[in-house]
Structure 1
Amino acid sequence: MNLHAIGAIYRFEMSRTWRTLLQSIVSPVLSTTLYFVVFGAAMGAHMRMIDGVAYGAFIVPGLVMLSLLTQSIMNASFGIYFPKFLGTIYEVLSAPVSPLEIVIGYVGAAASKSLMLGLIILATARLFVPFGIAHPLPMAAFLVLTAVTFSLFGFIIGIWADNFEKLNLVPMLIVTPLTFLGGSFYSIGMLPPAWRTVTLFNPVVYLISGFRWSFYGISEIAVGISLGMTLLFMALCLATIWWIFKTGYRLKR
């Protein structure tokens, strides 16, 4: 394992975060803070409790997941797309660096940025709504697993995309709507049976449900199923990335 190469890629990607601090950290935090102000502090005081949890506190895990999913994908996709766009990816591919080391460097940096953002948003949420964390270790595990999984997904999108429009297509038109419809602002148990069945085909539901369980010990879906679905998606992403490097899809041509 070439730790020097991994560290070089990781440090380069992390340095880009500090150069674009307003876009990378401040803007997502401010956007999520508006949700806490409007839905948590303002509307939450007039909403009934859900499963014994105040509405403002109930939406905290969903909002953290919304930011974490979006930023993981955006960080990883832009991280690998720009070397393709500038042509510097060929220098990386021709260097004595294995595909595994390339993925660890880029995905590790993207996941680190997303985790940092998620923790900042959690700290910010405490300023607006009181909440507790019933299971801190599982909460941290879900954070890390989600950040890594969707950074892998973003890495795939960055390789697939051949223009800036496609980079924003999946996060904005697919991931964000799925997150809003995945129980971020409501419990899927409140839905009619038919819609509840349809919702179960949304993979984000399992992430939010498992993450919310780590906060309040309540879950619409068994925690084991939530964890299993996340690991399955990670395995699919890893298999896709293996195929990309094996075939050179949009990397060598």
Structure 2
Amino acid sequence: MNGHAVATIYKREMQRFRRTIVQSLVAPVISTSLYFVVFGAAIGSRIDQVEGVSYGAYIVPGLIMLTVMMQGTTNSAIAIYFPKYMGAIYEMLAAPVNFFEVTLGLVGAAMTKALIIGTIILGTSFFFVEISILHPFAMVGFLLLTCLSFALLGFIIGIWANSFEQLNLVPQLILTPLIFLGGSFYSASMLPPFWQGLIHLNPVFYLISGFRWSFFGQSDVAVGTSLFAIAIFTAVCLGVIAWIFRTGWRLRA
């Protein structure tokens, strides 16, 4: 593996992150803090506890997942879209690097950005609610896997998109509703039977459920099921990216 090429791609993307620190870091933290104020204070004052956990603390894993999924997807999509849009992707394709090295550099940077933001959101939550993490190693594992899988998804979106409108289409019109309907702010047990069955068709639901288990030791589905779901999702994304680079779809047009 060409480690120098991977490091170069990774450092370039991290430099872009530092140049746009307000947009990339400060804005998500402020937005999440508003969620704490609105949902934690306003709604939390009317909902005492959810499954034995205060509502303000219960929504913390969902808020972290909301931010990490969106940031991982968006950062990765932009990282591959702009080189394609500007024509710089051809230099990358002509260089002595394979698809795995290109993906590792770009996705690794997007994953790092999402992880940094998710960690800051976690730290910010301690200013609003009292929270403890029962399984810290599992929490880190779920966080890393989520950053990786959604950075891979964003990479695919960035290659697929032919315009800025398409670049924002999936995150705004598909991913955001899936996250909000995936149990970010509530437990599946709070829903009527029909909606409980419907929510199990949402893949994001399993990720949020597993991540919440690492905090409170309870989840809507088995932890093994959550791990299996995220493993399948990651494998599918890797397979799609390998196919894209092998065929040149939307890259060599």
TM-score range, shorter-chain basis?
A: over 0.9
Cα distance in 1 for residues equivalent to 2:128 and 2:37: 7
Cα distance in 2 for residues equivalent to 1:195 and 1:124: 32
Residues 68 and 117 of structure 1 are in contact (CA less than 8 Å); yes or no, is this contact kept in structure 2?
A: yes
Cα distance in 2 for residues equivalent to 1:133 and 1:13: 32
Following superposition, which runs of at least 4 residues in structure 1 exceed 2 angstroms of deviation? none
Partner of 2:12: 12
Cα distance in 1 for residues equivalent to 2:43 and 2:185: 12
Cα distance in 1 for residues equivalent to 2:39 and 2:113: 26
For the pair 1:61 / 2:73, whether they are aligned, the reply is no
Residue range with higher mean Cα deviation, 114-123 or 45-54: 45-54
SS in 2 for 1:46: coil
Partner of 1:98: 98
What is the letter of the counterpart of residue 247 of structure 1?
T
Residue range with higher mean Cα deviation, 188-197 or 119-128: 188-197
What is the letter of the counterpart of residue 158 of structure 1?
G
For the pair 1:38 / 2:43, whether they are aligned, the reply is no
Cα distance in 2 for residues equivalent to 1:87 and 1:240: 22
Cα distance in 1 for residues equivalent to 2:77 and 2:37: 30
For the pair 1:136 / 2:124, whether they are aligned, the reply is no
The offset of 1:252, in angstroms, is 1.1
Matches within 5 A, 1:107-186: 107-186=107-186
Partner of 1:81: 81
Cα distance in 1 for residues equivalent to 2:39 and 2:110: 29
Q: Which sections of structure 2, spanning at least 5 residues, go unmatched?
A: none
Cα distance in 2 for residues equivalent to 1:225 and 1:239: 21
- Cα-Cα RMSD: 0.7
* CA offsets 1:113-158 (integer angstroms, 9 cap, x no match): 0000000000011101111100000000000000000000000000
SS in 1 for 2:107: helix
SS in 1 for 2:52: coil
What's the TM-score, normalizing by structure 1? Answer: 0.99
SS in 2 for 1:134: coil
The offset of 1:46, in angstroms, is 2.9
Q: How many residues end up aligned between the 2 structures?
A: 253
The offset of 1:80, in angstroms, is 0.3
The offset of 1:44, in angstroms, is 1.4
The offset of 1:94, in angstroms, is 0.3
Residue range with higher mean Cα deviation, 217-226 or 38-47: 38-47
Residues 41 and 128 of structure 1 are in contact (CA less than 8 Å); yes or no, is this contact kept in structure 2?
A: no
* CA offsets 1:67-116 (integer angstroms, 9 cap, x no match): 00000000000000000011001001100111110000000000000000
For the pair 1:243 / 2:248, whether they are aligned, the reply is no
The offset of 1:53, in angstroms, is 0.1
Residues 77 and 157 of structure 1 are in contact (CA less than 8 Å); yes or no, is this contact kept in structure 2?
A: yes
Cα distance in 1 for residues equivalent to 2:42 and 2:19: 35
For the pair 1:222 / 2:222, whether they are aligned, the reply is yes
Quote the sequence identity (%).
Answer: 57
Residues 182 and 202 of structure 1 are in contact (CA less than 8 Å); yes or no, is this contact kept in structure 2?
A: yes
Cα distance in 2 for residues equivalent to 1:31 and 1:185: 15
SS in 2 for 1:186: coil
The offset of 1:211, in angstroms, is 0.2
Cα distance in 2 for residues equivalent to 1:125 and 1:171: 24
What is the letter of the counterpart of residue 192 of structure 2?
P
Q: Which sections of structure 1, spanning at least 5 residues, go unmatched?
A: none
The offset of 1:47, in angstroms, is 1.2
For the pair 1:187 / 2:187, whether they are aligned, the reply is yes
Cα distance in 1 for residues equivalent to 2:197 and 2:111: 31
What's the TM-score, normalizing by structure 2? Answer: 0.99
